[in-house]
Structure 1
């Protein structure tokens, strides 16, 4: 059994635990395109000749490009913050305040990893003014992912990282591509709405537009598009015409340990072969 590669970031909705199922569902192709790359677990645990990895989070894409280009310089700078005196509330909030004031890409990328590992639950969240606002996490000894950073940098030599929205990512697709979409999930209920980590959120209208874009792209350009989301009546309706697979997953982002329960996850595959056979 091949050892799975962990991402160096903690991430809400990360796909590490679903990799075995996902790799079975993802078709072969020349390039994997991810319009919502997140922590990159799918990228790290698949073997396509090349990758186009996109996200609207500028800090995330900036970080990935820096780790790709100069991992040793980055590791040296980031590791210096993973010391006991920096694992304190006052130190964390000082870094968070500086992060929200500075524009230097390298410093922001170093602070981003620090806050990801020292902040609450590894969340990545910004306020309406664009300020990072995740509270201190109070962990005994935050882990510094040195090996994971090097592995990411090595694998990323086959990847292009772009800070663009999903529509632009779809527009850059070409014959031979395989697309995997892991959008912010539709809420399980009207009270469980989770605001996405950038900007104003991913609305139900966005969910519908993504579904339509995925379906049309698969049909018009003749390559497969796989989407993951909560398995609820809404998503089954949105992804009509797709082939469905359902898997159980552990929800890892929850304030109460007792609130972490298994929920069904839907994998919807738009495949040109399927459509041509079924009309």
Structure 2
């Protein structure tokens, strides 16, 4: 079956790792993702139900709008993909509108526009919680109508929630499997990309996540699969899991053809 792409550009997206992930992701009734991101794993699986969470309220708001108001959203979103809207001044004005808006529908429309027009498809916020990625100067940003349709159709089986991983994991039942894709531990200090939202997912948070996973697995025998960078620290963190080592293409290089493959690990508790 042909793999489905997310309608969002997303740093750390799992599209290029799907074959490896899907080979070992355990089968259960419900898939839970505490770090859903752009939703590539969700889109390419067929569980009976899904609980999909992220701390990014803008992301979860967009997913819920696409799920419940698809036709209206498609009609309104496509007007943001014209030569007139692909200009720095239009982008800057709408980024400012987005950061001040309290209208969920308006924010969803502009969030998609920003994602497809900003630099390298990044999603970053300053300490005030304001989206601050600069304009991307793309030749012709793609309007992902097909991908939006596929997402909305599959989303009818999903519940999207804005919450931290520790709260999300309290929703686990015995018929669940959990896939975790936390912000990766950096290869070096200069490659740190843990400030995905306004929270900082550092080594201490990774240790807390591992402790919680191992505690739940021990008590309830619920399977977990976790993605991370393959470095000494992650091998030590997940030493109680069965480790798979894979090669994956980076998704945040500004030039597509220069994106190098990196070493990743998949830690399976099953």
Q: TM-score range by the shorter chain?
A: over 0.9
> What is the aligned partner in structure 2 of residue 88 from structure 1?
87
What SS does structure 2 have at the residue aligned with 1:103? coil
Query: Can you list the C-alpha shifts for 1:137-187, whole angstroms capped at 9, x where unaligned?
Result: 000100000011111011000000010000011111010100000000001
Q: How far apart are the structure 2 equivalents of 1:145 and 1:131?
A: 25
Deviation for aligned residue 1:214: 1.1
Deviation for aligned residue 1:250: 1.2
* Alignment of 1:224 onto 2:235: no
Q: How far apart are the structure 1 equivalents of 2:259 and 2:250?
A: 5
Deviation for aligned residue 1:258: 8.0
Alignment of 1:1-279 (within 5 A): 2-255=1-254, 260-271=259-270
Q: How far apart are the structure 2 equivalents of 1:80 and 1:37?
A: 27
Deviation for aligned residue 1:259: 6.2
Deviation for aligned residue 1:112: 0.1
CA RMSD, Structure 1 to Structure 2 (Å): 1.1
What SS does structure 2 have at the residue aligned with 1:84? coil
Q: How far apart are the structure 2 equivalents of 1:83 and 1:218?
A: 49
Q: How far apart are the structure 2 equivalents of 1:78 and 1:191?
A: 36
Q: How far apart are the structure 2 equivalents of 1:180 and 1:47?
A: 14
Q: How far apart are the structure 2 equivalents of 1:200 and 1:160?
A: 23
**Higher RCO (Cα < 8 Å, 6 or more apart):** 2
What SS does structure 2 have at the residue aligned with 1:13? coil
Deviation for aligned residue 1:254: 2.3
Q: How far apart are the structure 2 equivalents of 1:131 and 1:179?
A: 30
What SS does structure 2 have at the residue aligned with 1:237? helix
Deviation for aligned residue 1:18: 1.1
Query: Can you list the C-alpha shifts for 1:2-59, whole angstroms capped at 9, x where unaligned?
Result: 0111100000000011111111110110100000000000000011110000000000
What SS does structure 1 have at the residue aligned with 2:18? helix
Stretch moving more, 248-257 or 57-66: 248-257
Q: Alignment length, in residue pairs?
A: 270
**Unpaired segments of 5 or more residues in structure 2?**
none
Give the TM-score of the pair, scaled to structure 2: 0.98
Q: How far apart are the structure 2 equivalents of 1:252 and 1:60?
A: 18
Deviation for aligned residue 1:255: 4.1
Q: How far apart are the structure 2 equivalents of 1:259 and 1:209?
A: 35
Q: 1:258 to 1:30 in 2, by over 3 A?
A: closer
